[in-house]
Amino acid sequence: MAATWGVDAVERSGPPQAPGKGKGKPPWRSEGLPGTPGGRPKINWWRFVVTLLVVYAGFFVVSSFVDNESVETISYTEFTTQVDAKNVKDISAQGLSVEGDLRSAAKNPDGGATYTRFSTEIPAFANTDQLDQQLRSGQVEITSKPLTRGFFSNLLLSLLPVLLLAGLWIWIMRRGASMMGGGGLGGLGKSKAAKPVEAGQVRVTFDDVAGIDEVENELVEIVDYLKDPGKYRRLGAKLPKGVLLAGPPGTGKTLLARAVAGEAKVPYFSASASEFIEMIVGVGASRVRDLFEEARKVAPSIVFIDEIDAIGRARGGAGGIGGHDEREQTLNQILTEMDGFSGAEGVIVIGATNRPEILDPALLRPGRFDRTVQVGLPDAAGRTAILGVHTRGVPLDAEVSLDQLAKTTPGMTGADLANLVNESALLAAKRGKEKVTRSDFTDALEKLQLGAARSIVMPEEERTRTAYHEAGHALLGMLQPGADPVRKISIIPRGRALGVTLSTPDTDRYAYDEQYLRGRITGALGGMAAEQVIYGVITTGAENDLEQVTMIARGMVGRWGMSEKVGPLTILPNDGSQPQASAATLATVDEEARRIVEQCYERAVQVLTDNRDKLEAIVAALLEHETLDEADAYAAAGLASQSKADVTS
């Protein structure tokens, strides 16, 4: 039962509006392996570039010695001297560049070297006609072909395009294989993951996990086994094959799995179940085999599969093609790897799901997932510990009390509390503060629970109607016996709502009786009842209220046995599946739910009519201040606060 049933919204709109894979790297991330934190080897690009330059320089030097004979660069004067001496055998010219051979060796007067092959440049001002006559008289063979290159140079230039294309093709193939999770064409082959040599440093420990001590105690045994398996093997105890963490989203299931690996100092492979599924049948099973093969290589190790219900859904029903067969083959492969012919000695599988009721029974039997650990919402003490973890690096003002803050956040998960701390820090930084104060936490909590305020200007008539709507919720919450204290009333538009009323309990509640639930329904109908008492009309502002009322009433009749006419039966399954009941029984459920709601609505109208002076007083205070905290709201109604705690506002 959510603790935020007291949040009621007035909608401005008229008629109700309808509410509105992947290819990747290998479908697992690994920790405790060489290279990057994700387990992929890190490339030293500087070393790669330097190596490439050294190889190129060596090739250039070798080709310079092999490709060309010794060519002497001489002056144009020396060249004409050799031409006049009729010692030039042939030349090859390209533009003003000339290269040629002598009939007999000569000594270069500039450098003193003896040469037979030479090169020179003809000055632009030289008389080329006279030079042509000298060359003809000296019987010099003249060609105008480009200067020839050596064998290695020609080979390199001819093979360079081919090498570039081959390199590009290899890069594309390897990248595609890596992204698809395989080593062959299209990524359908065997995945290659980094091969560890030793476990890495601790990433997350149980010190980073708070608020769920009873869950930690169940996992400490696994950590102890991984650290000292001999102590258990002497007594014939075997390591559990798998642990299933079941609980609502954000309760710390993933963090727990990482903490187990961190405490035991073993490699940790993380995967999302949906990443194994492809349209092509057999790919998921291949990826599962590769994952467990890599985990066995570094055993003992931990494999964490998040949202395992994506592939672990119970088999059966109508046969399917494509993705359906792929999911079943992937599930079969996981069943085989966990407790099949192959066996996964030293590999612990930790799965996480928030829908354990839909998992296949073969997955939950002993030998696969040997134990199921429920990870529930933290209590007040747990929330205090979680806030302590998330505020380690946050400078807090002296007036901030984590105990008091925990009492005002019932129903929040660890992820919600982490978000609350972050929002508070962002708000304090935005306001230019050096420390996070109580007002920052209060404003951040108000934003998360009630929504961000909108800067719109409402007509005075609609603003007044909104005030009556919220005052109706608040007054019924104050007058109902055993109701949760009203924490805040506001007619400032937030999100889609034009006003909100927040009621939360003083202590955590785990079970609800019929009187309390009827009180919740009556309070939720307070806004509509107030509009009926004052204006004699019903508006669309009660849309959210009626959704809550319908959910509670149908749960009372169809799930919790709070109707004498239906009896102690479960008619409406909690998993959203089709109810297994006759049409007559379902009609009875609807009739009983309608009866409960009508009785509660009549009571709401009667209470507001009898206490109209208190209703008008709350409305006047709301129109003046727009937002009332707990003390101001009860003072405006002339009632004593029911809260046992000093609630921040």
**What distances in angstroms separate CA 222 from CA 97, 218, 227, 300, one per listed residue?**
82, 8, 9, 11
What gap in Å lies between CA 539 and CA 371, rounded to an integer?
A: 51
Q: Roughly how many angstroms between the first and final C-alpha of the chain, as a whole number?
A: 25
Annotated binding residue 182? no
Was 379 annotated as part of a binding site? no
Q: How far apart are CA 365 and CA 339, in angstroms?
A: 10
Q: Is 4 assigned to a binding site?
A: no
DSSP 66-98: HH----EE--HHHHHHHHHTT-EEEEEEETTEE
Q: CA 117 to CA 333: how far, in whole Å?
A: 75
Closest by CA to 487, choosing from 624, 358, 648, is 648
Query: Taking the C-alpha atoms of 229, 233, 237 and 239 in order, what is their torsion angle to the nearest 10 degrees?
Result: 30
Return the half-sphere exposure (C-beta side, CA atoms, 13 A cut-off) of residue 255.
22
| Residue 545 labeled ligand binder | yes
Amino acid at 384: T
CA distance 10 to 468: 11
Active-site annotation holds for 602: no
Q: Is 247 annotated as a binding residue?
A: yes
Confirm or deny that 411 is annotated as ligand binding.
no
Quick one: three-class SS letters along 526-585? HHHHHHHHHHCCCCHHHHHHHHHHHHHHHHHHHCCCCCCCCCCCCCCCCCCCCCCCCHHH
473 assigned to a ligand binding site: yes
Residue 252 assigned as binding residue = yes
Exactly one of 294, 470, 531, 630 is catalytic; which is it?
470
Q: How far is Cα 82 from Cα 99, in angstroms, rounded to an integer? A: 13
Query: Which tokens sit at 70?
Result: 């010794």
Q: And the tokens for 473?
A: 């919720």
Q: Quickly count: other Cβ atoms within 10 Å of residue 519's Cβ.
A: 22
Task: Work out the number of other CB atoms within 10 angstroms of the CB of residue 159.
Answer: 11
How far is the CA of 358 from the CAs of 56, 326, 490, 577, in angstroms? 62, 18, 41, 10
Please give the single-letter amino acid code of residue 520: R
**What is the C-alpha separation between 210 and 20, in angstroms, rounded?**
36
Query: Was 555 annotated as part of a binding site?
Result: no
Binding positions: 247-254, 469, 473, 545
Binding positions for ATP: 247-254
**Which residues are the active-site residues?**
470
Binding positions for Zn(2+): 469, 473, 545
